[in-house]
A and B are shown apart, each in its own frame.
Chain A
Amino acid sequence: DVKVTQSSRYLVKRTGEKVFLECVQDMDHENMFWYRQDPGLGLRLIYFSYDVKMKEKGDIPEGYSVSREKKERFSLILESASTNQTSMYLCASSLKLSLLWTTEAFFGQGTRLTVV
C-alpha cells in the first residue's frame, strides 16, 4: 500500500519559533510537494521538488523554506512562525514518468498547524 506520511497530525507552536514539518514517501517518487489549505482559498502550492536537492518555489513561498536531502523525505521549514501561517499543511508525491507525464499524486494525511 503506497504511503505518504507526515510526521504530525496536529501541532501548536509559538510565534517566532522555527518549525519543521516532515514528509516521507515510500514509493520512490521523484516529485514531492508542500501545499497549504485554507477555507475559501483551497490548496495552494508552497514549494515542490522534482529530484533530490532540487527545489522550486510555488505560488506562496514567502516565509517558508524546504529541504530534500534524500529522495524519500521532503521537509518544510517555517524559519520564524507567524500567526498567518496557521493552516492545514499537506504533502504530496508523484512519479515522474517522462518530461511531460507524471502519475497521479498521493497525499499525506495533513498537519494542522496552529501558531499562537
Chain B
Amino acid sequence: KNEVEQSPQNLTAQEGEFITINCSYSVGISALHWLQQHPGGGIVSLFMLSSGKKKHGRLIATINIQEKHSSLHITASHPRDSAVYICAVTLGSNYKLTFGKGTLLTVNP
C-alpha cells in the first residue's frame, strides 16, 4: 500500500473553475510538499507545509495533521495550470521524500 494517496488521478476543468486535489498519508510526517510538473519538464516545488495553510497567488495548500490529509486548491483556474500535481511527504527525521502518484490536471479554455 502506498503511504501517500492522491485523488483524483485525473481531473479536467473549464477555465475559471475552482479546483481541489486531495492527498492522504498513513504515517507521521515532518512536512508535506506539493509539487508541479509540466509535460516534459522538471518539477517545481509549490509548497512545503507542516501545519495550517499557505497561499501563493491563486494556489492555496492546507493540511490537517490529525486527519493526515492535505488539499491543494487552485482558484480561477487557467489553461497554464495544466500539469501533474504531486503530493510528497518527509517522514520524521528521514530526508527522503515519499511521493503520491500524481494528479493530471487539464484546464480547458
Chain A interface residues (CB < 8 Å from chain B): 31, 33, 40-45, 48, 50, 58, 90, 92, 94, 96, 99-110
Contact = CB atoms under 8 A, between A and B. Distances in A.
A108 B42 contact: yes
A96 B102 CA distance: 26
B92 interface: yes
Contacts, number: 55
Nearest to B98: A45
B44 A100 contact: no
| A-B CB proximity, top 4 nearest | A109-B42, A107-B43, A42-B101, A104-B48
A81 B35 CA distance: 30
Interface in B1-44: 30-31, 33, 35, 41-44
Interface of B: 30-31, 33, 35, 41-45, 48, 86, 88, 90, 92-93, 95-97, 99-102
A40 B96 contact: no
A59 B98 CA distance: 10
Given A40-B101, A101-B30, A102-B90, A45 B43 contact: no
Contacts of B90: 102
Q: Which of B33, B43, B48, B100 has the most CB of A within 10 A?
A: B43
B30 A48 contact: no
Nearest to B97: A105
A42 B100 contact: yes
20 contacts: A40-B101, A42-B100, A43-B86, A43-B88, A43-B97, A43-B99, A50-B95, A92-B97, A94-B95, A100-B92, A100-B93, A101-B30, A102-B90, A102-B95, A104-B45, A105-B45, A106-B45, A107-B35, A107-B45, A110-B43
